[in-house]
Amino acid sequence: MKEILIAGGGIGGLAAALALARKGRKVRVLEKAAEFGEIGYGIQMGPNVARMLERLGVLKALESTSVFPEALIFADALSNEEISRISLGKAFVARYKFRYFVIHRRDLHGGLLEACRQREEIVLQSSSGLKNFTQQGDTVTITCENGAIHEGCALIGAEGLWSPTRQSVIGDGAPRMAGHYVYRGVVPDEQIVDRSRINTMTIWGGPDLHMVQYRLRGGAVMNNVATIASRRFRKSDANAGAADELEEMFSRTHPGVRDNLRYVSRERNWVLHDRDPATNWTSGSVTLLGDAAHPTLQYLAQGAQMAIEDGVVLAEKVAAAGEDYNRAFLAYQRERMNRSARVVLSSRFFGEYIHVDGGARELRNELARGRDPDNPWEVDWLYRGIEVNDKL
């Protein structure tokens, strides 16, 4: 049996490799970086993905390093008032069967990597960035940046936002810059001064900005994320998103919110991108997965979760289609396209919703104040998850 080649050993590539190996397929994961790894910040995981991680056999191991917040809180960044909350207790678990949790990216990636290392069907190869590929008959041949050549029966492009495989399959150029800039920081828990919401995932929304806080690693550290929808970006200013703009934009926020800026590093920022949903991401025996297929803004915190769901669905379709990878990949994209598109478009909407000012802010807060903490209606479609066929 020929190998399935996966370009990209991020969360999506590893989840796909594991899912395929569990269906008995041989897989080679080619990662561009010198080592398989992830950057050190937090990531939110909804019950939809917890279900997938259980299916991949890694949920239990990941739980030991996760934190299970008691609520998701939305607060107003100008007043520091709690506007609404979603309880993550019994009613939530009864509804979705799985818990919501937050985890250090390294722990999530490391858990998937460890599980991949345990499978003899999987070869993990670093320093192997995909440069280009060709398809002939039932063989896909890829050339790596280091000149190495690999042949397989299929290729899954999981190289993230700047995927070269996407450029061959869709050819739609660079992703869309949203003009949003993110600063992050993970600090020891004891440094956190305001402990009033310590066991929650709190998001403070304000005019063109927001701040997120939740604890990681059993509560040992606090993850802090500050985002601005840069006004300078809208004016094509070369200094868009710089640290002084972060300070400037947060200067209007409540002192209790502004104070949290001390926990984020100014050393680097993340420039957010997404893409309009595509109508096809498969060509013959080549397909895309995760951010390569449907990059999204982080406002629903679902990019990595969609990548993991992709991997599980893709493996099911491969198992059902035998050696017909084109059929499998078309069935996979059919199942994933609208759900991932809804995440992309809803994330844009949520970004706007939390960033409003003036009368729109008053209206948002008034409507949100009345919500039932036990009815997360706006993410219900998402958290209910996807159908998976346990027989395959």
Residue numbers at the binding site for ligand FAD (CB under 6 A) = 7-13, 30-33, 43-44, 129-130, 158-161, 164, 182, 270, 290-292, 298, 301-305, 307
Tell me how far, at minimum, the Cβ of 54 lies from ligand FAD, in Å: 16
Q: Contact 181/272 with Cβ under 8 angstroms?
A: yes
Q: Which is nearer to ligand FAD, 46 or 207 (CB)?
A: 46
Nearest Cα to 316, choosing from 54, 25, 2?
25
Query: Do the Cβ atoms of 223 and 184 come closer than 8 Å?
Result: yes
The helix or strand, by DSSP H or E, that contains position 293, with its residue range, turns out to be none
> Closest approach of Cβ 292 to ligand FAD, in Å?
6
Say what angle helices 325-354 and 303-321 make with each other, to 10 degrees. 160
Q: How far is the CB of 357 from ligand FAD (least distance, A)?
A: 22
Q: How far is CA 175 from the centre of its chain?
A: 16
Q: Kindly report the CA angle at 122 between 292 and 42, in degrees rounded to 5?
A: 50
Smaller CB distance to ligand FAD: residue 10 or 179? 10
For residue 244, what are its two tokens? 């002084």
CB nearer ligand FAD, residue 270 or residue 353: 270
- Work out how close the CB of 293 gets to ligand FAD at its nearest, in angstroms, rounded to a whole number: 8
Q: Nearest to residue 213, comparing CAs of 383, 39, 44?
A: 44
What one-character-per-residue DSSP string does 207-270 give? Answer: TTEEEEEEEEGGGTEEEEEEEEE-HHHHTT-TTTT-HHHHHHHHTTS-HHHHGGGGGS-SS--E
Q: How far is the CB of 167 from ligand FAD (least distance, A)?
A: 10
Question: Residue 24, Cβ neighbours under 10 Å: how many?
Answer: 11
Task: Work out how close the CB of 10 gets to ligand FAD at its nearest, in angstroms, rounded to a whole number.
Answer: 2
CB of 363 to ligand FAD, least distance (A): 27
β-pairing, 27-30 vs 122-125, is parallel
For residues 313 and 20, the answer to whether their CB atoms sit within 8 Å is: no
Question: Is 151 within 8 Å of 223 (Cβ atoms)?
Answer: no
Residue with token string 């299970």: 68
Write phi, then psi, for 30 (nearest 5 degrees). Answer: -105, 115
Distance separating alpha carbons of residues 8 and 117, to the nearest angstrom: 16
Shortest separation between residue 184's beta carbon and ligand FAD, angstroms: 7
- Evaluate whether 289 touches 206 at the Cβ level (below 8 Å): no
Of the two residues 77 and 293, which places its CB atom closer to ligand FAD in the complex?
Answer: 293
Distance (Å, whole) CA 332 – CA 352 = 31
Q: Which two tokens stand for residue 332?
A: 């996979």
Collapse the DSSP code of 235 into the 3-class scheme (helix H, G, I; strand E, B; otherwise coil) and give the result: coil
Q: 4 or 361, CB closer to ligand FAD?
A: 4
Tell me if 52 sits within 8 A of 312, measured CB to CB: yes
Would you say 178 or 331 has its CB closer to ligand FAD? Answer: 178
* Nearest distance from C-beta of residue 162 to ligand FAD, angstroms: 6
Minimum distance from CB of 44 to ligand FAD (Å)?
Answer: 4
8 Å CB contact between 226 and 260? yes
In terms of CB distance, is 182 or 365 closer to ligand FAD? 182
Q: Would you say 226 or 319 has its CB closer to ligand FAD?
A: 226
Q: Which is nearer to ligand FAD, 8 or 206 (CB)?
A: 8
Indicate the residue among 77 and 113 with the shorter CB distance to ligand FAD. Answer: 113
